[in-house]
Amino acid sequence: MPINITMPALSPTMEEGNLAKWLVKEGDTVKSGDVIAEIETDKATMEVEAVDEGVVAKIVVPAGTEGVKVNSLIAILAADGEDVGAAAAGGGSAPKAEAKPAEAPKEAEKPAAAAPAPAVTASAGPAPAKDGNRVFSSPLARRIAKEAGVDISAVSGSGPHGRVVKSDVEKAVSSGGAKSAAAAAPAAAASAAPAAAPKGMSEEAVLKLFEQGSYELVPHDGMRKTIAKRLQESKQTIPHFYVSVDVELDALLALRAQINDSAPRRDDKPAYKLSVNDMVIKAMALALRDVPDANVSWTDTNMVKHKHADVGVAVSIPGGLITPIIRKAELKSLSAISNEMKDLGKRAKERKLKPEEYQGGTTAVSNMGMMGVSNFAAVVNPPHATILAVGAGTERVVVKKGQMVIVNAMTVTLSTDHRAVDGALGAELLGAFKRYIESPMGMLV
């Protein structure tokens, strides 16, 4: 009996995902536990493992397909000893969600004056699937079409329900039959020019910029949309309050050097190498332990008081940022935090984090000191009630006992959700953090 492979739910809230890549092809034999595909969510790329053994009889959803619903059919396996052809014919059908483009023929009902000029298609076959003015195509197909100057709306799609896929665009490029998008660009740009020029710029100058192609439109990906939505929600619904303090680093830098110098070596490499950020994470976790009223999240009906400090750390990745979380950071050693952060940071940049590794948390740290930023205020990331913005450590002249001395110091700013953490409580939390940074031996006990 054929075995259906469906789109997995990679997190409790996942409703759909993008099928980024197949790691197997039709006819391949797979075993339980083999990685067969990669699924993209808005924040990560996850590997899908086979649950059963068999031969890949049919790949229902091609690589590059976006918006595949959870539990919809993506491939069919032939069980051991089963005829592959029969399994492919007897398996389930493609997800019904893809049937939406079938409404495209309604385009013909529009007035003739509004219809686009006929274009020569690259090959015979079904017209590309559309929904309104949108052509249904895979991300890879769109990228190849853009690089080759091919108008993707003039390419016939051979994918499910007329979706344009990679092979369709490649065929169009090789045949030269598809209308070049670049050829129509000057006229389209001129017609799309705004009626009124921006202040200080003539309409002729604006038209010239359009014709020269001095900019391009880059569609938002899922990650950027999610970041925009969450930050907009944060600034619109969370009353932010900010507290800043200068923190001296000399004692911390000396202890860090001593710990790193004494690290045991494995395969001629140190077992760990602490960064200032590792010690900032630990100090923030201990401060939340000491000031538990600040280790909270706001809801409309309750104040959620967390039992542990789960510290999210902002990591910049292509196209946005993500905050992998050090769970129970107040209980972990500095070396454990350092090694865990290196692993999480590496996999974050590869978009290989699991949802449970970046969702939730009780606070966050955003360190832009390594970028030379001296002072900034971060946006609270719900459901957190606090986030610590860390600036660069620099040499500064301060007065101690009537004498001017040079110290290494940095400015940190605590952003709080004022509904949950008011000014006095935020100052108390920041004071506890300052004590651990300036007397770092307290982080070792």
Predicted confidence (pLDDT) per residue in 142-182, tens digit: 777 777 778 877 787 776 567 777 778 878 877 765 544 44
Q: Where are the alpha helices (DSSP H) in 91-202?
A: 139-148, 166-175, 181-192
List, in order of start, the domains of the chain with CATH numbers. 3-94 (2.40.50.100), 119-212 (4.10.320.10), 223-444 (3.30.559.10)
SS3 at position 257 = helix
Q: Looking at the predicted structure, is the pLDDT value of residue 112 above 50?
A: no
Q: Looking at the predicted structure, is the pLDDT value of residue 208 above 80?
A: no
Active-site residue among 220, 240, 308, 418? Answer: 418
Q: Looking at the predicted structure, is the pLDDT value of residue 126 above 80?
A: no
State the DSSP H helix or E strand holding residue 298, giving kind and residue range, or none if neither: strand 296-298
Sign of CA dihedral 28, 29, 34, 37: positive
Kindly state the percentage of the chain with pLDDT values over 90. 44
Does residue 203 or residue 302 have the better pLDDT? Answer: 302
User: Side chain identity at 44, as an amino acid letter?
Assistant: A
- Of the candidate ranges 54-63, 124-133, 294-303, 327-336, the one whose mean pLDDT is the lowest: 124-133
pLDDT band at 67 (very low <50, low <70, confident <90, very high): confident
Q: What does the pLDDT read at residue 40? A: 79
Q: Looking at the predicted structure, is the pLDDT value of residue 385 above 50?
A: yes
Residue 406, strand partner residues: 397
Q: What does the pLDDT read at residue 169? A: 81
29-30/54-59 β-pairing: antiparallel
State the DSSP H helix or E strand holding residue 433, giving kind and residue range, or none if neither: helix 423-438
- Of the candidate ranges 13-27, 107-121, 194-208, the one whose mean pLDDT is the lowest: 107-121
pLDDT band at 408 (very low <50, low <70, confident <90, very high): very high
List b or e across 347-383, with b for residues whose CB sees 16 or more CB atoms inside 10 angstroms: bbeebebebebbbbbbbbbbbbbeeeeebbebbbbeb
Q: Answer yes or no: 240 catalytic.
A: no
Burial class (CB in 10 A: 0-12, 13-18, 19+), 214: exposed
Q: What does the pLDDT read at residue 199? A: 55
pLDDT band at 120 (very low <50, low <70, confident <90, very high): very low
Q: What does the pLDDT read at residue 213? A: 67
Q: What does the pLDDT read at residue 289? A: 97
Q: Looking at the predicted structure, is the pLDDT value of residue 21 above 90?
A: no
Q: Which two tokens stand for residue 398?
A: 């301060």
Does residue 169 or residue 316 have the better pLDDT? Answer: 316
Closest CA to 303 of 314, 295, 311: 295
Tens digit of each residue's pLDDT (9 = 90 or more) over 322-365 = 999 999 999 999 999 999 999 999 999 888 888 889 989 999 99
Q: Which long-range contacts (CB under 8 A, 24 or more apart) does 391-397 make?
A: 392/368, 393/249, 393/253, 393/276, 393/369, 396/246
- Of the candidate ranges 63-72, 207-216, 356-365, 401-410, the one whose mean pLDDT is the lowest: 207-216
Q: 104: Cβ–Cβ under 8 A, 6 or more apart, which residues?
A: 127, 129, 130, 131, 162
Q: What is the dihedral of CA 226, 229, 231, 232, to 10 degrees?
A: 170
- Of the candidate ranges 62-66, 235-239, 404-408, the one whose mean pLDDT is the lowest: 62-66
- Of the candidate ranges 146-150, 199-203, 275-279, the one whose mean pLDDT is the lowest: 199-203
What is the distance between the terminal CA atoms of the chain, rounded to a whole angstrom? Answer: 61
Does residue 286 or residue 354 have the better pLDDT? Answer: 286
Find the helix packing angle between 276-290 and 334-349, rounded to 10°. 110
Q: What does the pLDDT read at residue 427? A: 97
Count CA atoms closer than 13 A to 239's CA, side-chain side: 7
Q: Looking at the predicted structure, is the pLDDT value of residue 83 above 80?
A: no
Residues 283 and 442: their CA atoms lie apart, in Å, by 9
User: Side chain identity at 27, as an amino acid letter?
Assistant: G
Residues 330 and 338: their CA atoms lie apart, in Å, by 13
Q: Looking at the predicted structure, is the pLDDT value of residue 367 above 90?
A: yes
